[in-house]
Each structure stands twice: as C-alpha cells, then as structure tokens.
C-alpha cells in the first residue's frame, strides 16, 4: 500500500472536503429523488435504484455479470456510488476465493499422484491467486475504513485491482502446459472471477463519469483531474538540473547515507555472515522490530551464481552491493530449462517496498536461450537505483505494481523491457546488444497492458538509448525499434530522452498476428538526438507527439506512479534522487 508521508496538508484537506462532498451530495441526490416521488414511493425507489445499477455497470465489458453482482443494491435507495464500487469488488473477491479453492483441491491423494512438474505449476498458480485475494482484501478494507477520501485512494484501488486481474492471467500462464484434468477445474472457476475482476476495475476507472451520469452535478469533475492538479502544483515547485548531456553514471559502491548499517553481510570469500544471498534473505522475519523500517543486506563484491526470490511477505528489503563488482547471475531460460518466462529470473522481488542499489543482475543464457529474465519485479513501490540489469531477450520484467528505476544500465536484444506493471525509468542508459545470428528485428520495450482502464504502462524520462560497441561493425544490419504493442492497451511514453540514430525511423513495429497498433497508446515528448525525428514515424493514430506540458503531465513520476506519495521515504533512506516532473522544462 502506498504511503502518505509525502502528501501536502492542503491537498489532503482538499481531498477530504471533496470526499465529504461526494458522500453528502450522493445522499442528497438519492434522498431528493425519493422525496419527489412519495405518491408512488415503492415503485419509483426501485426504478431509481435499478437505473443506478445500469449506470454503474455502463463502463464494464461484462454488463450482465455486473448487474447480477449488484442486484442486492437494486432495492436499496440509500446506496451511494461508493457502495456500488465496494459491492463490485466484494463480488470479485468471492469468485477469486472460489478459484483459489479449486486450485487448492488439485493435490495428490491415496488414489492418484500428480506429476511433479504439474504440481509445481499448480502451486505457482495457487500462490498467484493468493496474491490476488490479498490485494482484494486490502482494497475492501481500504474502502471500508476510508472516511470520505475516495479521491485520495482511487488510483491505489485501480493499482491493486489491476494486479488482481494480472495475477489471474499469470495463473493461466503458469498452468498452461499442465494436464487438462488438473487445470480444467481452475480455468472453469476463473471464467467468472476474471469477468468480475475486470468489471470492478472498469467501475473504479470510470467512477467520476458514473458520478456525473447519476446527475450529481455539483460533483462534475474527474477524480483523476484532482490528482493531476495536486501533482501539477508539486511539480511547479520542484527544482531539477539541466538535462541533455546524455551521460548516465554507472553503478557505484556505497549504501547511501552513512547512517545506513546492514543487518546481514554476504561475502563470497567468507568474510560475511553468509556466502550466498539466498541464505541472507531467509533470515528475514516479519514483522520487523519496532522502529525499524528496512531489512538491510549488504552484498560484498563477488559473483553469486544463484536464483534469488524476495518473497511476498518479505517487505521493505533493501539490498546493496559494490556496483558492477557485485554480480548476481544464473543462466535459466525458456529454451534450455523449459521454464515459463517469469521463472527464468535470476533475481525476483515480490515483497512490498523492495529497494536495490549498486547491484548487477545478470542472466547468462545468451541470445540462444531466448526468453531469459535477469530481474523480475513484482513489488509495490520498488526502487532500483544505480544498478546494472544485463541480459538478452526479456531482460527486465516489470511484472506488477508501481516501480521506479534511476541511473541504471539495462541491456538486451528483444522485448528486453516488458511487463504489466507501472514503471518509470529515469536518468538511465538503455543499450541494445548483438543478438543471435537469426535475429534481425530488435525491440526495446513491449508493454503488456491488456485493458485500457488498467494502471500498467512504462515511461522513459531523460534516458539515453544507444547500442553496445560490438554492434558498430554490423551497422545497418539490424532493424532496431523503440517498442511494439504486446497487448491491446499497451501504453508507453518516452520523454526528454536522447534517441540514437541506430533506431529505425519508423520507431515502432506491430505485434505479429495482432492489431494492437490500433488500440495501443504511445507518446513521445521533447526527445532529442537523430533517432527522435518524427517525420518517418509509423502513421498510427495511436502514436502521439505531445507538444503541451499539460498533455505529458500524466506520465511524470508524480502522476504516473504517484511518486510523491512513496518515493519520499526511499529518498531519505537510501539517497535516491528523483525528479517528480519535467527535467528540461
């Protein structure tokens, strides 16, 4: 859950005032409608409530399922818009609970065994579904306990609901190759859960329009606009350095502030408490002691050949090393090890509030291994600072939630920055490397945003895009593109960045056997360099070159990943600089 330490008091007051207005006005609206129809009270009250259900379900894709899930409110004249949203989320949770139960029932018994590989896939699916249930519980509790502050929390709700939908998709992927008799009960139960999860997300995203449609005219503004206005004021007071030098510092040693002391030291040479990172991570115990905000692991210089996972319950883990001298590496890949892409990751972070500084994450499967992840981030509020992330195809997976990358070097060949989360990469260097002999088309980014109302996109801000030196001899051989739309609602923004001349002037390429270029959302703003010329870009109606800062505002750190809310603590703790708005402006 995003913290609130950075919120400005006046903005909180404004949100509280508006939230109170929402509750009062909604109550007045429904009360007035009842008072106007005393002569036929029962019939009109029911008619009004049924109309409200229809309006609330309007933005959803599965309207029949939506109306059935909200039917209990059809006879409640006192139900507010917030009640309808909460009911849709509770309905989704009931269905996801059923899917989790179906997955839990797939286990060996006295009559039959489940092949180990199928069991592992089912276990992974069950884990992902448990994450979805946790996020739904968090969403419900947040809505139940908020005191007229829906405007403050609406983006949090959409963030969690996006993850809920995504976790179910990832569960499908996990069991995709399992025997039908094991996966069929899970997939059957998931039909309703995905529909209702999708509906809840659509209602949350369209909430301000629902308010307007219900004729609460005094509340005729967008909740997202409120967030934008708040962020805009923050940005106007935020100072930033001059940009345009195109120089990105590589990872360097040091944990940040001198007051930061590690809880555990890892050293390959035996001079620390442990010789492996996995052993150090296993010592984490929740909750952390009173007053302790982070669990800190220092990894001394060395090459650590291991797969590391920061588990979901291991929150606020901060790991730092000695830059390019501290290397976490393995060679897991889809081709060599027959794994699904996420499970090839050398290093995975699932626990909320994960932070990494001065580390190198590497996958050595090489171009022949095809999909092979170096770093997988599924951590809400993750910060990756002064790190190198090295691989070939599918190097960095920004899997779920809001993430911030600063002063990193990321290398790869095809779709090497991809995912379904919300990621901002700032003041970093992206390097294209030499692929295998049969690959000629190289793509930097592939966003997996499936629905237009999901919160899941990527943004480059003041990034330098270049290629590794070994590719100079093959100048002109490869077609190198900025990105391609992996899913129908793929969304990306490249702003104030230095784009090298090695890029194909078209900039983007369609996803094969799809028409996602017709529905994606790609933006460019104030980029520079020979690769930034717009004259020969693809003529997609979904590609926009933004001129007005107000148009680019939604893709700044403050707005896009709500950075003001949670990056303040990381800035104080480990010294990560962040610019909330535009750097050049």
pLDDT at 585 exceeding the cut of 60: no
Instruction: Pick the range with the lowest mean pLDDT from 39-43, 475-479, 559-563.
Output: 39-43
**Confidence (pLDDT) at 75:** 83
- The DSSP annotation for 199-248 comes to HHHHHHHTHHHHHHHTT-GGG-S-HHHHHHHHHHHHHHT-----------
Report DSSP state, residue 289.
P
Record the tokens describing residue 158, joined without a space. 């959409």
Burial class (CB in 10 A: 0-12, 13-18, 19+), 221: middle
Place of tokens 């949090």: 156
Predicted confidence at residue 185, as pLDDT, reads: 95
CA–CA distance, 422 with 39 (Å, rounded to integer): 52
Name the 3-class secondary structure at 434.
Answer: coil
The answer for 66, left when phi > 0, alpha when psi is -120 to 50, beta otherwise, is alpha
3-class DSSP state of 78? coil
Give the pLDDT confidence of 498-529 residue by residue, as tens digits: 999 999 999 999 999 999 999 999 999 999 99
CA distances from 104 to 98, 100, 350 (A): 10, 6, 21
User: Which domains, ranges and CATH numbers included, belong to the chain?
Assistant: 9-230 (1.20.140.40), 238-574 (2.160.20.10)
Please provide the average confidence, as pLDDT, over all residues in the chain: 86
Is pLDDT at 236 greater than 90 in this prediction? no
Q: What is the pLDDT confidence band of residue 77, given thresholds at 50, 70 and 90?
A: confident
Mean pLDDT of the region 411-430: 97
Q: Supply the pLDDT for residue 260.
A: 77
On the question of pLDDT at 6 being above 50, the answer is: no
- Considering only residues 15 and 435, tell me which one the structure prediction assigns the higher pLDDT: 435
Report the pLDDT value the prediction gives residue 45, as an integer from 0 to 100.
Answer: 53
Q: Quick one: residue 350, left, alpha or beta (phi over 0 = left, psi -120 to 50 = alpha)?
A: alpha
Which of 198, 263, 415, 562 is catalytic? The answer is 415
CA of residue 582 relative to chain centroid, distance: 21
Q: What is the pLDDT of residue 111?
A: 64
pLDDT of residue 47: 66
φ, ψ for residue 295 (rounded to 5)?
-105, 115
Q: What is the mean pLDDT of residues 401-406?
A: 97
Instruction: Please confirm, yes or no, whether 415 is among the known catalytic residues.
Output: yes
The predicted structure's pLDDT at residue 258: 46
Residue 529, pLDDT score? 97
- Identify the pLDDT of residue 302: 98
Would you state the pLDDT for residue 35? 44
How sure is the predictor about 571, in pLDDT bands with cuts at 50, 70 and 90? Answer: low
Tell me the range of 15-24, 203-212, 445-454 where mean pLDDT is highest: 445-454
- pLDDT tens track for 249-267: 444 444 454 457 999 999 9
Secondary structure letter of residue 462 according to DSSP: S
Q: How many residues does the chain have?
A: 585
pLDDT of residue 566: 87
Range name among 34-38, 175-179, 327-331, 541-545 with the lowest pLDDT average: 34-38
Give residue 215's pLDDT: 72
Is the pTM higher than 0.85? The answer reads yes
% of the chain with per-residue pLDDT over 70:
82
The answer, yes or no, to whether residue 217 has pLDDT greater than 70, is no
């Amino acid at each position: 859950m995003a913290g609130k330490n950075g919120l400005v008091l006046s903005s909180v007051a404004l949100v509280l005032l508006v939230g109170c207005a929402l509750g009062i006005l909604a109550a007045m609206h429904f009360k007035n409608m009842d008072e106007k129809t005393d002569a036929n009270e029962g019939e009109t009250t029911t008619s009004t409530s049924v109309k409200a259900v229809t309006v609330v379900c309007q933005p959803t894709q599965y309207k029949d399922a939506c109306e059935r899930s909200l039917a209990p409110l059809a006879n409640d004249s006192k139900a507010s818009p917030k009640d309808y949203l909460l009911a849709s989320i509770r309905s989704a949770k009931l269905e996801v609970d059923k899917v989790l139960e179906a997955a839990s029932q797939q286990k060996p018994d006295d009559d039959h065994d489940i092949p180990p590989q199928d069991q592992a896939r089912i276990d992974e699916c069950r884990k992902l579904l448990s994450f979805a249930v946790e996020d739904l519980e968090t969403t419900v509790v947040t809505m139940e306990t908020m005191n007229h502050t829906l405007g403050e929390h609406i983006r949090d709700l959409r963030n969690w609901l996006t993850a809920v939908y995504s976790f179910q998709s990832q569960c499908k992927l996990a069991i995709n190759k399992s025997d039908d008799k094991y996966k069929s009960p899970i997939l059957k139960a998931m039909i309703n859960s995905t529909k209702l999860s999708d509906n809840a997300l659509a209602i949350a995203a369209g909430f301000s329009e629902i308010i307007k449609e219900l004729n609460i005219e005094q509340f005729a503004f967008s909740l997202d606009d409120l967030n934008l206005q708040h962020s805009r004021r923050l940005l106007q007071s935020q100072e930033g350095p001059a940009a345009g030098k195109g120089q990105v510092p590589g990872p360097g040693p040091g944990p940040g502030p001198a007051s930061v002391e590690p809880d555990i030291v890892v050293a390959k040479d035996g001079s620390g408490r442990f010789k492996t990172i996995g052993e150090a991570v296993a010592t984490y115990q929740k909750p952390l002691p009173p007053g302790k905000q982070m669990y800190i692991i220092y990894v001394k210089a060395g090459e650590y050949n291991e797969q590391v996972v920061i588990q979901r319950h291991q929150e606020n883990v901060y790991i730092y090393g000695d830059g390019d001298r501290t290397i976490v590496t393995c060679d897991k890949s889809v081709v060599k090890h027959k794994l699904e892409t996420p499970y090839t990751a050398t290093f995975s972070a699932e626990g909320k509030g994960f932070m990494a500084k001065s580390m190198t994450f590497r996958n050595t499967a090489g171009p022949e291994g095809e999909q092979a992840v170096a770093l997988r981030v599924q951590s809400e509020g993750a910060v990756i600072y002064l790190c190198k992330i090295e691989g070939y195809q599918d190097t960095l997976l920004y899997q779920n939630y809001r993430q911030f990358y600063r002063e990193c070097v990321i290398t790869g060949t095809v779709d090497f920055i991809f995912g379904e989360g919300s990621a901002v990469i700032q003041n970093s260097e992206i390097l294209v490397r030499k692929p295998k002999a049969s690959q000629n088309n190289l793509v930097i980014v592939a966003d997996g945003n499936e629905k237009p109302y999901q919160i899941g996109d990527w943004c480059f801000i003041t990034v330098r895009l270049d290629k590794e030196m070994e590719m100079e001899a093959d100048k002109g051989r490869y077609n190198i593109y900025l990105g391609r739309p992996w899913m129908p609602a793929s969304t990306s923004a490249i702003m104030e960045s230095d784009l090298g001349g090695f890029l194909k002037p078209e900039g983007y390429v369609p996803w094969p056997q799809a028409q996602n270029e017709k529905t994606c959302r790609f933006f460019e703003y104030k980029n520079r360099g020979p690769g930034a010329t717009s004259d020969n870009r693809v003529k997609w109606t979904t590609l926009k070159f933004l001129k007005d800062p107000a148009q680019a505002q939604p893709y700044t750190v403050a707005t896009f990943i709500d950075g003001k809310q949670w990056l303040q603590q990381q800035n104080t703790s480990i010294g990560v600089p962040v610019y909330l708005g535009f750097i050049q402006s």
